[in-house]
Amino acid sequence: MTYYRIKPRWRPTGLKTPPATEALRVISPDWASGHIDVFELESPFVEYIRRLNAANSNPKAWRLISAPQGGIFNYTRKVDDSDDLEWYENGRKPFLNTVGFDGNVVNVIDIQQDLALIQTIAVNKYVPLYSYQDRPDLVHQFTTVNNQGKIYKAGKGVIVYSPLLTRFQSAVPLDILEPFPTLPMSVKVEWPSGLNLRKTPSITGEKVGVFPQGTELLIKEYFPRGAEVWARANGRYICLYTPIQLNPYSTTWKMVTSPPPL
């Protein structure tokens, strides 16, 4: 996979719902950049999003994202095209507004001129089971960016998730993306305590060794896991970026902007 990160861009806050970049565009058959994809959401996907946002017994996230005109459901319309403020009470299907979120990761599958075609979840094919930990390129967090460029959780610290659901091929402008450093590449361990080597790309993965500070490693493949960036090196897995550390970068591997939001 070819990972890119949507560059954080400050926008005035103070809104009741999480602000989002309207960056994700549908691509027409002639490869022209079209509109933001808006469509009625079928009940299996509504349930999928509800489950994503009710994790860890926290239904507040779902209430935030399902509010009329809020979150990704901010195109709820009646037959006469007026705002439908009671869709959730009347059993109507919500209208989904497909958007991209500052600071998150996308998987670029092709580049057409100044557009990056990205992988999304096709609503007309199957009901996915991806989580943010499984595929942070397909399940994003709502985030906001302050005027110092710092990313933080929207909704007063409540984590809100939104899968990238589309009916057609979608894209984002190349100029708002930062690519992950090109692989393969050699890096050196920077943490004085050394860097753990694990069987799987997870902090719960079995520890199979430690690389001392100064060890040179050859990175061959990325494995983003939520807010962490893992990689395969020497046949095993190391964590390149973890936001819970004072120095989040374990090696000389760096990005201009911070990797995915915590």
Q: What is the residue extent of each domain of the chain?
A: 3-179, 180-262
Residues 6+ away with beta carbon under 8 Å from 94: 40, 41, 46, 66, 73, 76, 87, 88
Identify the pLDDT of residue 141. Answer: 86
pLDDT for residue 5 is more than 70: yes
pLDDT band at 217 (very low <50, low <70, confident <90, very high): very high
pLDDT for residue 148 is more than 80: no
pLDDT for residue 213 is more than 90: yes
Torsion, CA 74, CA 75, CA 78, CA 79, rounded to 10: -170
* Tokens (6 digits) for 86: 């009671």
What mean pLDDT is predicted for residues 170-186? 91
Rounded CA separation 114/80 (Å): 37
pLDDT tens digits, one per residue of 40-99? 888 888 888 888 888 766 778 887 776 655 556 655 566 676 766 666 666 677 777 776
Class of domain 180-262: mainly beta
Rounded CA separation 214/57 (Å): 43
Identify the pLDDT of residue 81. Answer: 66
Rounded CA separation 75/69 (Å): 6
Asked if 8 contacts 260 with a C-beta cutoff of 8 angstroms, the reply is: no
pLDDT band at 166 (very low <50, low <70, confident <90, very high): confident
From the list 143, 137, 117, the residue with the least C-alpha distance to 24 is: 117
Rounded CA separation 181/183 (Å): 7
